[in-house]
Copies of this chain bind each other. A is one copy, B any other.
Amino acid sequence: MTKAIKNLRDHLAEIHDLARAASVLGWDQQTYMPRGGAESRADQLSTLARLTHSKFTSSKTRRLLDQAAAETAPLPADHDDRRLVEIVRMDLDRETKLPGSFVARWSRDASLSTEAWREARQADSFRSYRPHLKKMVGYALKAAEYYGYEDHPYDALLFDYEAGMKTAEVKAAFDVLRPAQVELVRKLAERPEPRTDFLRRHYPAGAQGEFGMKIAKAFGYDTNRGRLDVAPHPFATKFGRNDVRITTRYDENFLPSSLFAIMHETGHALYEQNVSPGLDRTPLSRGCSSIFHESQSRLWENVVGRSRHFWERHFGDLRDTFPEQLSDVSVDDFYRGVNQVKPSLIRVEADEVTYNLHIMLRFEIELGLIEGKVEVKDLPELWRTKMEEYLGVTPSDDKDGVMQDIHWSGGSIGYFPTYALGNVMGAQIYETVMSRRPETRGELARGEYTGLLGWLKENLYTHGRKFMPRDLAMKLNGKPLDPKPYLRYLTSKFGEIYGI
Tier of interface size on chain A: 35 or more
Query: Taking CB as reference atom, which chain B residue is nearest A243?
Result: B37
Residues of chain A from 1 to 56 with CB closer than 8 A to chain B in the complex: 13-14, 17-18, 20-22, 24-25, 28, 32-37, 39-41, 43-44, 47-48, 51
Answer yes or no: A229 CB below 8 A from chain B CBs.
yes
The segment out of A74-82, A219-227, A424-432 that lies at the interface is A219-227
Query: Taking CB as reference atom, which chain B residue is nearest A19?
Result: B44
The segment out of A126-134, A234-242, A297-305, A452-460 that lies at the interface is A234-242
Answer yes or no: A306 CB below 8 A from chain B CBs.
no
The reply to whether A242 and B36 form a contact with Cβ atoms under 8 Å apart is: yes
The reply to whether B224 and A34 form a contact with Cβ atoms under 8 Å apart is: yes
The reply to whether B47 and A14 form a contact with Cβ atoms under 8 Å apart is: yes
Residues of chain A from 197 to 227 with CB closer than 8 A to chain B in the complex: 222-227
Of B21, B22, B37, B281, the residue contacting A239 (CB under 8 A) is B37
Query: Taking CB as reference atom, which chain B residue is nearest A240?
Result: B40
Query: Taking CB as reference atom, which chain B residue is nearest A48?
Result: B21
Residues of B within 8 A of A226 (CB): 34, 36
Known: A14-B47, A21-B25, A25-B24. A41 touches B227 (CB 8 A): no
Of B37, B48, B241, the residue contacting A17 (CB under 8 A) is B48
Residues of B within 8 A of A14 (CB): 47, 51
The reply to whether A17 and B36 form a contact with Cβ atoms under 8 Å apart is: no
Q: Report the minimal beta-carbon distance from A498 to chain B, rounded to whole angstroms.
A: 42
Q: Report the minimal beta-carbon distance from A28 to chain B, rounded to whole angstroms.
A: 6
Residues of B within 8 A of A35 (CB): 224-225
Tell me which of A17, A32, A39, A281 has the highest count of chain B C-beta atoms within 10 A of its own C-beta.
Answer: A17
Residues of B within 8 A of A47 (CB): 13-14, 17-18, 21
Residues of B within 8 A of A37 (CB): 225, 239-240, 242-243
Residues of B within 8 A of A18 (CB): 47-48, 51
Can you offer 15 A-B residue contacts whose CB atoms are under 8 A? Answer: A14-B47, A18-B48, A21-B44, A21-B47, A34-B227, A37-B225, A37-B239, A39-B242, A40-B239, A40-B243, A41-B239, A43-B240, A43-B281, A44-B240, A51-B51
Closest 8 CB pairs of A and B: A40-B240, A37-B243, A36-B225, A36-B242, A17-B47, A17-B44, A36-B224, A35-B224
A residues whose Cβ falls under 8 Å from a Cβ of B: 13-14, 17-18, 20-22, 24-25, 28, 32-37, 39-41, 43-44, 47-48, 51, 222-227, 229, 239-243, 245, 280-281
